[in-house]
Chains A and B, each alone.
Chain A
Amino acid sequence: MRRWLRWGIGGVLTGVPLLLAVAGPWLVSGPGARSRAFVAGDGHPLGTDFVGRDVWQQVLLGGRTVLLVAMLATVLAYLVAVPWGIAAAVSRHRWVDELLMRPLDLVLALPSLLLLVLLATIAPSGSPTLVAIVALLNLPGITRIVRAAALEVGSRPAVEALRLQGEGWWRITVGYVARSIVRTLAADLGTRFTGALYLVASASFLGVGVPPDASDWAVMVDRNRPGLFVQPWAVLAPALLIVALSVGVNLLFDRALATRSGPGPRPGARPGARSGARTETGSGNRPGPRPEPQGAAP
């Protein structure tokens, strides 16, 4: 019962916004008639917004982009970061490693929202740009984790044993190293996705990368703020949906992680000899807890 409750809260909090975001656009029968701005009631269940559109209809339309952009950005970041981090970890020359990792430190040198604002003004506006920028901001964090994990796996005697067996580079790197770090990466996926969600929503709220009258929950929160005193639902409904989605997704991933790494030892988590010097000095990866999402500041 208690177990069900724990999954349930996360499930409901995620499910409602997810359902609205995915199915919402099909429920809208075309552009509704415009009425006056910030009307409460009057045939509109949630009133009207700053240009007189129906808020409920906008809510139905506005979830898809946030979700899609966050998902695509996460996927894109992993697609780039995994080969990148592995390449840095298995490179035989120290300078290759440095060359691959140092530029990423630059991205980390400024708070991510700040960089997002800067980058978004340079690039052409639009969802693809936002996907690319959010992916770029998530890239250093994921690459570091991939590199650290691959470095640990790569320094195990197993890799040398494979080399002595005459195995080639691909078989060792993809067949052993990449496969062995999947677990570590999966454990990190949740934080990365919520981090991307956070960045996408915050960027849209600041009007970065989206047109000012877009049907987007975060944009709605921003544009309808002047009507907060008259017609609070135009702001509150999308804001609450974003809150529910963030909290729900985080709770679900947390539960999933707790259940999986619960009882019993995890295979592969053995204390092994690490190539200490490189792991520690490499990119300032300190031994310690899992890094928090880089994309989402603190």
Chain B
Amino acid sequence: MSLGHYALRRLLVGVLQVLVVACAVFLLTEALPGDAAVALAGDNPDPARIEQIRRVMRLDLPLAERFWDWLAGLFRMDLGVSLVSQRPVAAFLADGLAPTLVLATLTLLVLVPLAVLLGVVAAVREGGPLDRAVTTVSVALHAIPEFAMAIVLVAVFGVRLRWLPPTAVGVGGDLLRHPAVLVLPLVVLLARPICSISRLVRAGMIEALDSDYVRHARRLGLSTGRVRLRHALPNAVAAAVPQLAHTTDWLLGGVIVVEAVFVIPGLGTALVDAVAARDLPVVQGLAVFFAVTTVLVNLVADVVGFRLSPRTEVVR
């Protein structure tokens, strides 16, 4: 199977996945407890007012019809309008996307080279002091919940030492203008992925360096550097690609906690707010967006993985 064929097939499967997730999300959010109209009408609901909201939200229509309208809207890239503020859902997405993208891109830019480098160096000096340090620290850091680490860092560097701002309050969406604000969130975001990825690269590299094909490449007279770079490293990196995809996916949608601690108005915050306000169209729109990013990221990862490790002819 050629790379093009493989990518095309994966893309078709991906579109199907998005559709399935979209349906699941719609049904799940429709199952949210309480009548959204009642919730929106306020503390002392007036039946007439509830009726009015219901009509505006078209809650009086049957579920199937609303679902069909919503799905048709998706195809026109129209995600609907917020129930609370009447703003288009797309605007919520656009607002939240900027800070999320900034954080995700910066994290990945630091993460990939650093994790690969740490993994390779640790593997080449297997059992040495650096390897032991990297391994122990990564085992320790790996399990810490972000909020706990973030709070400890804020208490030390933000409150006690006053080196860095403790939160991004007042900065708004324009994070790049205030790089100091980004330091602590980046450190927290990097901590776990660096551990997992450098560990995978290290393990892959050790396995590759100990493999018969590397030994054979040396027998054929190839230099040490070349053997490491061209023969061992691709195998080591291939082992880490799925995890890197997982991390990217998480950075694009799952960093709710870090956004909450540092008060960054990203997509995660938008989702938590929308869920709390029972703002169904926003929740649905965000969930579909996350499903699309997940599918896209995994698609790219599979294609890269296919290129790096052509044996995996995985079709999902």
Contact = CB atoms under 8 A, between A and B. Distances in A.
B70 to A, nearest CB: 17
Contacts of A197: 143, 145
Interface stretch (A77-85, A263-271, A283-291): A283-291
Which of A111, A194, A249 neighbours the largest number of chain B CB atoms within 10 Å of its CB?
Answer: A111
Contacts of A286: 242, 305, 312, 314
A218 B150 CA distance: 13
B187 interface: no
B290 interface: yes
Interface in A93-114: 105-106, 109-114
B157 interface: no
Contacts of A111: 249-250, 253-254, 290, 294
Contacts of A40: none
Interface in A200-214: 201-202, 205-206
A29 to B, nearest CB: 28
A153 interface: no
Contacts of B81: none
Interface string A100-138: 000001100111111001110110100000000000000
Given A113-B256, A114-B290, A194-B143, A297 B246 contact: yes
B256 A118 contact: no
Given A109-B294, A110-B287, A250 B148 contact: no
A206 B271 CA distance: 12
B25 to A, nearest CB: 8
B150 to A, nearest CB: 9
Interface in B244-275: 246-247, 249-250, 253-254, 256-257, 260, 268, 271-272, 275
Interface residues of A, number: 53
A221 B143 contact: no
B285 interface: no
Interface stretch (A154-162, A177-185, A239-247): A239-247
Given A113-B254, A114-B253, A287-B312, A251 B275 contact: no
A202 B275 contact: no
B175 interface: no
Contacts of B159: 228-229, 232
A243 B254 contact: no
Chain B interface bracket (under 10, 10 to 19, 20 to 34, 35 or more): 35 or more
B257 A113 contact: yes
Nearest to B135: A254
Interface string B268-308: 10011001000000010001001100110000000001000
Nearest to A292: B196
B62 interface: no
B314 A243 contact: no
Interface string A208-233: 00000000001001100100110010
A137 to B, nearest CB: 12
Nearest to A110: B290
Given A111-B250, A198-B143, A298-B243, A280 B313 contact: yes
6 contacts: A111-B254, A122-B31, A202-B146, A228-B159, A239-B155, A246-B145
Given A121-B33, A232-B155, 16 more contacts: A109-B291, A110-B21, A110-B291, A111-B249, A111-B254, A111-B290, A122-B31, A122-B32, A122-B33, A242-B144, A247-B140, A247-B143, A251-B140, A284-B314, A289-B200, A298-B196
